[in-house]
Amino acid sequence: MPRRVLPLTDTQIRKIKPAASVLRLSDGDGLYLLVQPSGGKWWRFDYIHQGRRKTLSFGTYPEVSLVAARARRAAAREQVASGIDPSRERQQARDAAVQAMTFAEVADEWLERQKHVLAPVTFEKATWMLKSLVNPWLGKRPIAEIEPPELLSVLRRIESRGKHETAHRTKQRCGQVFRYVIATGRAQRDPSADLRDALTPVRSTHRAAVTHPEQVGELLSAIDGYHGSFVVRSALQLAPLVFVRPGELRRAEWSEVDLDAAEWRIPAERMKMREAHIVPLSTQAVAILQELRPLTERSRYVFPSIRTITRPMSDGTINAALRRLGYDSDQHVGHGFRAMASTLLNEMGWAPDVIERQLAHAPRNKVRAAYNRAQHLAERRKMMQAWSDFLDGLRRNAR
């Protein structure tokens, strides 16, 4: 005669203490609770289907209560009695749910994983492309069902506004999302791969920059006469002295700046190459920051937004200020200060390795990259001061 199993009670489950090995508490009819040495409590259900013994997980206690576990047991026993395998049924339901995942859901999942991988500016642009340019048309579509013509239609909308480079970049981001969903087993193909040569080619253009010494002097003189916000003028004055990327400049934080040591240390997570970067500050750069500090030190940002000190200056502020000074996008842009410095410093005879390291470019030669880890800091300090003095001379000549 089989041994009679006494049903479990909530009190009994709550009071049970973990042991050195796994404890098994039976509730009868195939349902039992496994108590792990770590204290975790897992519901299990054993059943026989087509002569084979199988086990189904019902979740953990107390997330799944005793009453809920018994209800799941009753439903599973009913399936078994009808010739249905509960495990197979559950897997099919999961597969159907995976196949039904929309592009927007997977894109959000991919973005969450990229949050601490991509540079902040790059992450913002990727988010904007996927959420604003793609999701309105493809966001609700099951990602496993999207065909190349559908994606091309979305990209053509971007092209129709003359944004050919944006269309190509959006295609690349979509490809990353599709490859991610393939890697995680939720789709079989990447439709973006079939759109090769389908978009209008983009003509590569260099960012506009003033590089002739006489014109540089005129630009610096114009910046000094800027009549807008003092914060924006300070950013314009500092930009040619430090020649970092515009996103790195506008997101600068006071905690990164040591005026006594004349250094600005940018953390790796804000750099394009994901490597911490040191910017030696010339006496001219220190003077600009010292004058600015009393105005913005209540903010974490050196150059806070005009609307709120809790956010940095907006992405287009520097370029808008240059437009006010009469420099359109074909003459000079915020990123152009880097080309200006690179061109003139090379003409001045500074070592290319020192210039490239200060520009925070990734070394192409792996052997030299190891040497460059020394960062040429002493030479860079001399170069940054000499560069600021040189710009002062150009400014005086222009006046």
- Annotated catalytic, 293? no
- Annotated active-site residue in 171, 186, 245, 357: 245
Side chain identity, residue 334: G
- Annotated catalytic, 272? yes
- Annotated catalytic, 72? no
- Annotated active-site residue in 173, 332, 335, 357: 335
- Annotated catalytic, 116? no
- Annotated active-site residue in 49, 293, 311, 361: 361
Residue 388: how many other CB atoms lie within 10 Å: 20
Q: Which two tokens stand for residue 13?
A: 């489950």
CA–CA dist 390, 374 (Å, integer): 26
CA–CA dist 101, 138 (Å, integer): 12
- Annotated active-site residue in 163, 272, 293, 323: 272
- Annotated active-site residue in 14, 371, 373, 396: 371
Q: Is the dihedral of CA 374, 378, 381, 382 positive or negative?
A: negative
Laid out side by side, the sheet with 257-258 consists of 257-258, 263-266, 277-280
Q: Which two tokens stand for residue 295?
A: 């105005």
Q: How far is CA 269 from CA 17, 101, 117, 127, 299, in A?
A: 45, 31, 8, 17, 20
- Annotated catalytic, 245? yes
Q: Are 279 and 242 in contact (CB under 8 A)?
A: yes
- Annotated catalytic, 338? yes
- Annotated active-site residue in 73, 173, 338, 376: 338
Q: Which residues are catalytic?
A: 245, 272, 335, 338, 361, 371
